[in-house]
Structure 1
Amino acid sequence: MTACHVRRLTRPTSLRGSNGVAFGPDGRLYVAQFLAGEIGAVDLATGDVEVVVPVGGPVQAPDDLAFGSDGSMYVTDLVPGRVWRRRPDGTFTLVTDQVRLPNGIACVGDRLFVNEMIPDGRLLELGNGEPKVLAGGLAMGNAMQLGPDGALYYPHMLTGEVFRIPPDGGTPELVATDVHQPVAVRFDLGGVLQVLSRGVAGIVTRIDLFGSGDRTLVTSGLSGLDNAAFDTENRMFVSSYAGGGITELHPDGRTREIAPRGFAGPYGVTVDLGGTVHVADHYRIAEPRDDVTTTELLPFAHGIAADGDLLHLTSQYGQVRTYDRTTRSVRTRANGLAEPAGIAVHADGALVVAEAGAGRVLTIDFEDTVGVLADGFGRPVDVAVDGDGRWYVSDEERGAVYRLDGETAVVLADDLGAPQGIAVVGGCLYVAETAAGLVVAVDLVTGEARQAADLPASPGRPGEQPALHAHGLPGVPRPFTGLATAPGDSLYAAAGGTVVHLTPAEQP
């Protein structure tokens, strides 16, 4: 297979992960996108999304937002630890850079409050001087809101609790316990507290604090809920850090899609022996069927390789883990690596990992002993093996693909544009040449490279490769275009916000 037919399995989303949401003065729903590094405005009537704060400006990792009384938008810039004000004319000023992982944010008249998403975090009021500490000891705070009683309500993500505190300070009061994985608190127009869960089932806990005291659960099926906003008709619109998009959630659990959900990346892709496609999508493992189906929320998933009932995963933050699909258990295989990316399984069951940040290819055996298979690379991104047991490595930095002869790396092809994912089919090594937006086929004998297919571009941004903005920003992964072999001498590629199936040109 050299020339390929390309078939998209999923539609891309214009909101690649959606976090904080708030209605702006113009009636549109504004959405912070941490992974994409931008803020969009959604027209709820059409679902159209306009990018109002693009990548490349002062805000790097927007996670939550709120609007002040003058129409200014305040944004928590999570990873750099900053809070910004965007005036109605579009200009930015820095409110503070003295907050650790600021996340939840709320405006009360002309007053501004934020909390920190860390253990032993703080809830702060920001003004012209030093931040005023209202409360400490937050067990990872997140999205908060002023309640009908004039108090600020906020979740403790680590302990499953909700607290409130007067805006002028005082002793925090516990108002709810045993709340399912709380990530955000919101009040509807009737004053009923809604606590969103970040779990797989998409649970919302409704607590009538100021009426009957009843507590009910709504299960939406929207994995990875992040935030919510109510319009003037008391309709609830929710975001998802895992699946993106914007969805209307009815009180009985019914949903209506406004802006479509989809992949946040995607990153690595693999195919198991039964032909099921599994995708590593940063916060989750997902399958590209019926759009995108979350099979497990598992931060942070980037490289992936199937091995029977096991899925082996890398995190660019330094981990290699094995997820057992039968028991839903996770075993850590290695920690503290330098940006591990592509992963594959050796014939003897050991794992082979491209350690991009250290220029090495590693092995991890059954006892979780880490060894070096080869080193001296620039930035190795992926690994693959052919039918004779020979290993291949893509080097994004040097624009080359190598064959490993023992511990010696021999150039198979060079002058490639940022090669990332690789896979062997027949007598060819297929390479995702991301700088050119192509999949190329490299003859394993001659090293000759020929174009096999175009990679999909990022949604709404023709020609942009890869999809996400992050290059070196702490806490945000670098893009990674994965390739995987499949039955029938075909391939799957994860790129451009979607997964595509590449089949030989002679096949339908």
Structure 2
Amino acid sequence: MSGFRTCRLTRETPLRGSNGVAFGPDGRLYAAQFLAGEISAVDVATGEVEVIVPAGGPVQAPDDLAFGADGSMYITDLVPGRVWRRRPDATFTLVTDQVRLPNGIACVGDRLFVNEMVPDGRLLELGAAGPVVLTGGLAMGNAMQLGPDGALYYPHMLTGEVFRIPPDGGTPELVAAAVHEPVAVRFDRGGVLQVLSRGAAGIVTRIDLFGTGDRTLLTSGLPALDNAAFDAENRMFVSSYAGGGITELHPDGRTREIAPRGFAGPYGVTVDLGGTVLTADHYRVAEPRQPAGEVTTTELLTFAHGITADGDLLHLTSQFGQVRTYDRTTRAVRVRADGLAEPVGIAVRADGVLVVAEAGAGRVLTIATDDTVSVLAGGFGHPVDVAADSAGQWYVSDEERGAVYRLDGATPVLVADGLDAPQGIAAGDGCLYVAETAAGRLVAVDLGSGAVRKAADLPANPGRPGDLPALRAHGLPGVPRPFAGLAVAADKSLYAAAGGTVLHLTPAEES
């Protein structure tokens, strides 16, 4: 074969994950993108998206935002634990770094309030003299807003409750209990409280606090809602932490796409026995759908990064330390290992034993069917992915050393080096295919001669391990490191998860 023909399976999305949203002074809807590290402005009339705060600046992981009376944008920077002010002239000032995972944010005149997305979190006012605690005991706070009665309303994500408190402090008052997975509270122009659910059904709980007191549910079908904003005409626009994009949600449940949804990653990719392509997309397992190029959510499984299909089972890694098995029939999740140092690539042996690249520890592990964890091989720099050939021989890619190794017992044998950030690997037809991500290409390594040749172009990786924020902050998960995954289908074609999409690579005939 001379190479591969490449077909992109999903359309591009300008918002790879969308979190806090707020209308700015210019009438555009501003969206924070936690995973992308960006803030963009969306024209809700045309769908045009402009990046306002690009990645690589002082803000690393923007999660929510609000506008002050002078037009300044205030931003919660979740992972580093900072709050920023971006003035209308685009200059930045650090407001505070004395908060733990700041998330919800609200401006009340010239006053600024934030809350913490941690168990036993705080709600604080940020003033010139430093943070002032209004109340503690928040069971993971999130998006909040000033209500028509002058109180601040906020959710407890862990307990399914909504509280309010006067801006000058006092005793929090329970407003609503048994709310479906609350992630954000917003008031429409008529003063009706809208509580968004982060669950798969896209539920919005509407509570007419200052009128009839009625409580109704709207099921939107938009999974992983994150935040909402209402324009001057009382139209509701919602974001999704998993699917991204911006969608108008009508009162009767109809939806209109403003900015297209898509992948937040994707990271690992696998093909099951039925030929279904599945990806690990940080907050979910997702499936690229043709011919529309859409992405559908198979299951909300938080912190899914590496993935491999095994009959009705999906085995998943989280860069935050876990290996899990998800049963697609029963929807049960079983933790196979915990406390690992950045497990990434995963595959399964014929005997059901899992093989895992533990990147942070420089090792390749096995996890037996009884969940016993053993070291298969060690001494690597930053191993990312594992794969086996048809003879059952195992291989591992080492991003840090730019190399691929064969695992002969506990002794790694160099197969190819001089590669530029090799990540995903897959074996087929006497070759080992490797995503050489910093070079933006797929290479084929001949397992007989060791010769390396280019097989296809791939999107370049946006960063290396040392260039990105810490995986954990304040003891809780932060931003995962991107990596390109590869999988081989039964027809010998390849699937690559890279650059915000899934590519289908079909063999091209010799010329």
Establish whether TM, by shorter chain, passes 0.5. yes
- 1:216-238 CA-partner distances (Å, limit 9, x unpaired): 11111111100000000100000
Contact in 1 for aligned 2:267/2:282 (Cα 8 Å) = yes
Identity %: 82
**Which residue in the other structure is 1:87 paired with?**
87
Structure 1 gap ranges (5+): 459-463
Q: Distance in 2 between matches of 1:497 and 1:42?
A: 19
Contact in 2 for aligned 1:468/1:479 (Cα 8 Å) = no
**1:422 and 2:425 aligned:** yes
Q: Distance in 2 between matches of 1:481 and 1:361?
A: 18
Structure 2 CA distance for partners of 1:56 and 1:5, relative to 1, 3 Å: same
Q: Distance in 2 between matches of 1:87 and 1:486?
A: 51
**Which residue in the other structure is 1:194 paired with?**
194
Give, in angstroms, the shift of residue 466 of structure 1: 8.2
Q: 1:486 aligns with which of 482, 486, 489?
A: 489
Q: Distance in 1 between matches of 2:313 and 2:373?
A: 19
Q: Distance in 2 between matches of 1:466 and 1:84?
A: 25
Q: Distance in 1 between matches of 2:411 and 2:137?
A: 53
**Which residue in the other structure is 1:297 paired with?**
300
Letter in 2 for 1:105: I
**Which residue in the other structure is 1:470 paired with?**
468
SS in 2 for 1:357: helix
Q: Distance in 2 between matches of 1:469 and 1:410?
A: 29
Q: Distance in 2 between matches of 1:2 and 1:476?
A: 38
Letter in 1 for 2:113: F
Contact in 2 for aligned 1:55/1:469 (Cα 8 Å) = no
**Which residue in the other structure is 2:55 paired with?**
55
Q: Distance in 2 between matches of 1:227 and 1:352?
A: 38
Letter in 2 for 1:332: V
**Which residue in the other structure is 2:153 paired with?**
153
SS in 1 for 2:18: coil
Letter in 1 for 2:239: S
Q: Distance in 1 between matches of 2:72 and 2:197?
A: 29
SS in 2 for 1:429: strand
Letter in 2 for 1:366: T
Q: 2:315 aligns with which of 312, 316, 339?
A: 312
**Which residue in the other structure is 2:64 paired with?**
64
Give, in angstroms, the shift of residue 367 of structure 1: 1.0
Contact in 1 for aligned 2:441/2:460 (Cα 8 Å) = no
Q: Distance in 1 between matches of 2:466 and 2:176?
A: 38
**Which residue in the other structure is 2:168 paired with?**
168
Q: How does 1:347-496 map to 2 (within 5 A)?
A: 347-456=350-459, 470=468, 472=470, 474=472, 475-496=478-499
**Which residue in the other structure is 2:338 paired with?**
335
**1:219 and 2:219 aligned:** yes
TM-score (norm 1): 0.97
- 1:384-422 CA-partner distances (Å, limit 9, x unpaired): 001111001101011111111222211111111100000
Contact in 2 for aligned 1:2/1:451 (Cα 8 Å) = no
Letter in 1 for 2:235: R
Q: Distance in 2 between matches of 1:130 and 1:248?
A: 38
- Large movers: runs of 4+ above 6 Å: 465-469
**Which residue in the other structure is 1:323 paired with?**
326
Q: Distance in 1 between matches of 2:200 and 2:404?
A: 39
Give, in angstroms, the shift of residue 506 of structure 1: 3.0
Contact in 2 for aligned 1:225/1:240 (Cα 8 Å) = yes
SS in 1 for 2:186: strand
Letter in 2 for 1:349: G
SS in 1 for 2:300: strand
TM-score (norm 2): 0.96
SS in 1 for 2:90: coil
Q: Distance in 1 between matches of 2:411 and 2:371?
A: 24
Structure 2 gap ranges (5+): 473-477
Q: Distance in 1 between matches of 2:342 and 2:286?
A: 22
Q: Distance in 2 between matches of 1:378 and 1:355?
A: 10
Q: Distance in 1 between matches of 2:467 and 2:312?
A: 33
Q: Distance in 2 between matches of 1:300 and 1:176?
A: 29
- 1:265-306 CA-partner distances (Å, limit 9, x unpaired): 100000011111110000110011151000111110100010
Q: Distance in 2 between matches of 1:124 and 1:468?
A: 33
Between 262-271 and 396-405, the greater mean CA deviation after superposition: 396-405
**Which residue in the other structure is 1:461 paired with?**
none
Contact in 1 for aligned 2:316/2:323 (Cα 8 Å) = yes
**Which residue in the other structure is 1:99 paired with?**
99
Q: Distance in 2 between matches of 1:313 and 1:253?
A: 33
Give, in angstroms, the shift of residue 12 of structure 1: 2.2
Q: Distance in 1 between matches of 2:95 and 2:133?
A: 16
**Which residue in the other structure is 1:117 paired with?**
117
SS in 1 for 2:302: strand
Q: Distance in 2 between matches of 1:468 and 1:97?
A: 22
**Which residue in the other structure is 2:475 paired with?**
none
**1:127 and 2:155 aligned:** no
Contact in 2 for aligned 1:490/1:501 (Cα 8 Å) = yes
How many residue pairs match? The answer is 502
Structure 2 CA distance for partners of 1:457 and 1:10, relative to 1, 3 Å: farther
